[in-house]
Amino acid sequence: MNRLETAIPGVVILEPKVFGDARGYFMETFSASRYEQVGVVGPFVQDNISFSQKGVLRGLHFQYPHGQAKLVQVMQGEVFDVAVDIRKGSPTFGQWVGAVLSAENHRQFFMPAGFAHGFCVLSVTAMFCYKCTDYYAPACEGGIAWNDPDIGIEWPIQNPQLSAKDAAYGRLKEYPSEKLPAYDGGVR
């Protein structure tokens, strides 16, 4: 497996080995011991799948407390996936990194807890899968506006389809500091 670093320490792109022939392919999508060797540490306790149409944007979501590290990948279609550092006190606070994930490139994107996450669908449809290190806790969920000008994400789509909740999120600088995770000097 290849581990590709991004501009934010701890946020990485993974390229699992894919074994293909005329029949199709085989790929190991997760093995705790193998992923620990490249710095992706769980335990992962919940798996989720979302299915969306072209132009849908989901995010930017996070939980605090009960933050979730996420290992994400696309099983069908293509998305542009984004992680935004929202850990107060972090040297990369408010910065983002993104990656194109697709069923063809088999890439996975890992972000530690303390990041807001979102993606937009580039293909006709996409099936998006993610592993989380903590359970979904509705009372702890938060969000940042997908188009926060201070963050400046360069989304590859115009006029995305948003849920009512995602459309109502405000800017990161307006988010109450006590409702954001703190940077602890490292990544997990």
Residue 84 included in any domain:
yes
Residue 157 included in any domain:
yes
Structure tokens at 86: 């929202």
Residue 20 included in any domain:
no
Q: What is the mean pLDDT of the chain?
A: 96
Structure tokens at 112: 């530690």
User: Residue 188's pLDDT band (boundaries 50, 70, 90)?
Assistant: very low
Residue 117 included in any domain:
yes
Q: 66 catalytic, yes or no?
A: no
Structure tokens at 77: 């279609």
Q: What is the pLDDT of residue 186?
A: 67
Cβ neighbours around 79 below 10 Å, total: 29
Active-site residue, selected from the candidate residues 61, 64, 117, 169: 61
CA 115/CA 60 separation, integer angstroms: 9
Residue 105 included in any domain:
yes
Active-site residue, selected from the candidate residues 64, 106, 117, 130: 130
Residue 153 included in any domain:
yes
Residue 49 included in any domain:
yes
Range of the domain at 62: 43-179
Q: 130 catalytic, yes or no?
A: yes
CA 147/CA 13 separation, integer angstroms: 23
Q: What is the pLDDT of residue 187?
A: 56
DSSP code per residue over 80-134: EEEEEE--BT-TTTT-EEEEEEETTT--EEEE-TTEEEEEEE-SSEEEEEEEESS
Domain count, the chain: 1
Structure tokens at 177: 């500091």
Residue 118 included in any domain:
yes
pLDDT tens-digit map of 55-103: 999 999 999 999 999 999 999 999 999 999 999 999 999 999 999 999 9
Which CATH number characterizes residue 157's domain?
A: 2.60.120.10
Higher pLDDT, 146 or 41: 146
Has residue 176 got a pLDDT over 60?
A: yes
Nearest to 41 by CA among 65, 71, 61: 71
